[in-house]
Amino acid sequence: MNKILITGSAGFIGFHLAKTLLDHDFIVHGFDGFTDYYDVNLKKARHDILLKRSNYSYTIGMLEEQLKLDEVANKFGPQIIIHLAAQAGVRYSKENPRSYINSNIVGTFNVMEIARKLKVKHLLMASTSSVYGASTNMPFSEVENTDYPLTIYSASKKAIEAMAHSYSYLWNVPTSILRFFTVYGPWGRPDMALFKFVEAILNNKPIDLFNYGEMSRDFTYIQDLVKAIFLLVNSVPQLDPNIKKIDCDSLSSVAPFRTVNIGNSKTVNLHDFINSIENILKKKAVINNLPMQKGDVKKTLSDTTLLKNLTNFTPDTDYKEGISSFIDWYKDYYKK
């Protein structure tokens, strides 16, 4: 299984994952729409790095373009599909909810149709910790109830999880749903907290701090996330009564379908997070304290027992180390 189709290959996670797979001699085809949700030049810069690799090819297109997606997949013939492309952003989903329906639900349906038609060996799809909604039952476990999403973004991800289970059941498509917890690191998205905080501090601009900073997140370093996905590629869900069930498994009782958290299993208060940025930059932040935004949650924390049982790996990069790596990249990329 050496041919992998990655959607969202010019995105933050897709770029890092593609690099890792290429380093391990996989043949990768990327599919990306280069949308302008954030700086397209950043996407192009990531993409240019991938283009230097002989085992990488790509197509520019939108997930909603079913015929183009079909043509690409039929020509490339992947054994594995890793679906990362999506309209991201919790807060933006209040401003432009339709884009989440088109990209995340319609686009994902098109990807699942490809997986069905090609009978791929493994379909891996990105989801989010946001599906846990306002639950305070922490750490979040994969078997936790996720019926109460708080935003259109999280609702769209919950929807594709349900759609994927039905496809897995009906068409025997081995499917892994990967729930990401606040991913950060070099080449990160400009709309995410670390990028915004560093940019604001360096440019003497205030940081908007919601709920007066009384929030905490399970920050997951990009290389830890990519390693986890890489290891899960070969951990294909199987509905086989002769295979002993793994402890804490979320494997469906009726389909080759599994949900896996990928997080750092530690929670960091935003005040501590910003303090670390200030210490590295040797510069104080200007804080604009604001009340809680509707749709935000106060805390996230992952239970990664299943990930450990499946891969013998647990993400463990300390957030201070991860922040330092991001700042080194940021200063180099933007010549600060």
Is there a catalytic annotation at residue 333? no
For the chain, helix (H) and strand (E) counts, in that order, are 12, 13
**By the 8 A CB rule, do 175 and 123 touch?**
yes
Distance CA 146, CA 232 (A): 22
Q: Residue 94: CB partners within 8 Å, gap ≥ 6?
A: 151, 152, 294, 295
Question: Strand pairing partners for 180?
Answer: 128, 262
Distance CA(168)–CA(174), nearest Å, equals: 6
Amino acid at the residue 263: G
Among the listed residues 38, 56, 153, 221, the single catalytic one is: 153
Among 58, 59, 171, residue whose Cα is nearest residue 112: 171
Distance of CA 166 to the CA centre of its chain: 22
CA-CA-CA-CA torsion sign (175, 262, 72, 62):
positive
SS3 30: strand
Q: Read out DSSP for 223-262?
A: HHHHHHHHHHTT------TTSPPPTT----SSSSEEEEEE
Annotated catalytic sites, by residue?
153
